[in-house]
Amino acid sequence: MLGRALAMRFKDDGETVVAEGALAALPWTDRPRQALPVLLEQAGGDRARVAVYAAERAARFTAPSELGLQLGPLLTGERSAKVTSRKEAVRLAARFLPPEQAVTLLARAFHAPDRHPDVRSAVVRALPPLLGMPEAWDLLRDAAPAVPEALLHVTPWELGESHRGPYAVLVDAAYDACLASAEGFAGYGALQAVGVWTRFAPRLADRLSRTVCDLGSRTHWQYAAWVLRDLAVSDLPHPVGGAAPGSVFHGAVAGLMAALREPEGGCDALEHRDLPALQRLRTLVSLGSRESVPPELLAALVGQLAPEPLLTAERAELLGRMVDRASEPAALLGRLQDLADALEGAGVTVAAQTAARLRASWTRPAPSQDTGAVLAAAGRLARDGGAATGLLALALVTATGGSLGWPEEWRSLLRLLRRHAQPDVRQEAYRTVTESE
């Protein structure tokens, strides 16, 4: 009792540190239950920051019937309290009260007259452990149009397996409202959260695809493309399904390629718009520096982009990744030839850029790489006579020959490229030296 009396004596001390120390100590005295009303009295004052968080320990030792009576006025705003205090009261109710009583009080908090969005969001975040109660689902359905972004703060792993599908349906219902309430880069976070739920509601993947392909809306499409692309390269099960025909990702690419030929999607340097479908396609199929792209996705996407000459550079980049992964001589030569064919109609600049990327990625060949196969492939490309094939051959020679210390067979091939029929290849070959002065 002496400890409680001492804490009570100093809880209103004029020194902030002393008063807050006394409040924090109260629930650690021999009668923590008696500290709860004292601490909750501070919910609207300057000491709320310490007092309400200290109330958690006091709540553990308080009977549910009494705890509910103490928290009720805070939850509904009947007692003057800071918003942070009301949010903490929501968490205490969800954690320490029986489910039925907790859901009843949380519903009162959600429907409080002031309808404060932060309190409502706190209610949604507190509901996952209580979803065994049908009333909790009613509350979530009320939350979907009111605070849609709060639904996305809950992850599937917080819910029991049987609750994930129904919850994903709520996320689907709130999709448009979530995007409408998200401004700027916050839209990316919202769409990333949506992407997590696509495993449990396939319609959400279609929603992402429509956001990318809806040329009538210019907000959030880029973020949706990033998320859809990340899902496509992921090895987790979801309905996006890589780039295979029939997958959501394949459908988005196909839809934008078709839109290129339409007036809206292919508009050419108008006053306020330029090639919208092409810009979206380039974002969607650009895989950046990702290392773990499934080979079947690369192959499917390369084939899908083949009919569109405006996407030659993007297709060449994907083919370059496939070249990087080839270890068998026949596969390496075949992929290099495919890459050269793709580059022939793209111009020297694109071919040079692709060759530079290939050279950078081959500076240290994988241990499993057959350098004899690389030499044979480079020699065949060098003798082809085309600018693209010559630049690719030079990329292989520079990267692999340099890493091996420039043996004679690689120097011989470099000399051959310096006499190439195409001046761009000759110039680049002379910029490569086997020994510095």
Gyration radius (Cα) of the chain, Å: 32
CA distances from 141 to 108, 118, 145, 329 (A): 15, 17, 8, 59
Helix, strand, coil abundance in the chain, percent, nearest 5:
70, 0, 30
Rounded Cα distance between 333 and 376, Å, is 8
Output the tens digit of pLDDT for each of the chain's 437 residues.
Answer: 457 777 777 777 778 888 788 888 888 888 888 888 888 888 888 888 888 888 899 999 999 999 999 999 999 888 888 899 999 999 999 999 999 999 999 999 999 999 999 999 999 999 999 999 999 999 999 998 899 999 999 999 999 999 999 999 999 999 999 999 888 899 999 999 999 999 999 899 999 999 999 999 999 999 999 999 988 888 666 666 666 777 899 999 999 999 999 988 888 888 888 999 999 999 999 886 666 788 888 888 988 998 888 888 888 888 878 876 666 667 777 777 788 888 876 777 778 888 887 777 766 554 445 788 888 888 988 998 888 889 988 988 998 888 889 999 999 999 999 999 999 999 999 999 999 88
Answer yes or no: are the C-beta atoms of 127 and 156 closer than 8 Å.
Answer: no
How far is Cα of residue 89 from the mean position of the Cα atoms in its chain?
A: 32
Domain boundaries, the chain: 184-307, 323-436
How far is Cα of residue 414 from the mean position of the Cα atoms in its chain?
A: 44
Answer yes or no: are the C-beta atoms of 394 and 428 closer than 8 Å.
Answer: yes
Token pair 């919850």 is found at 167
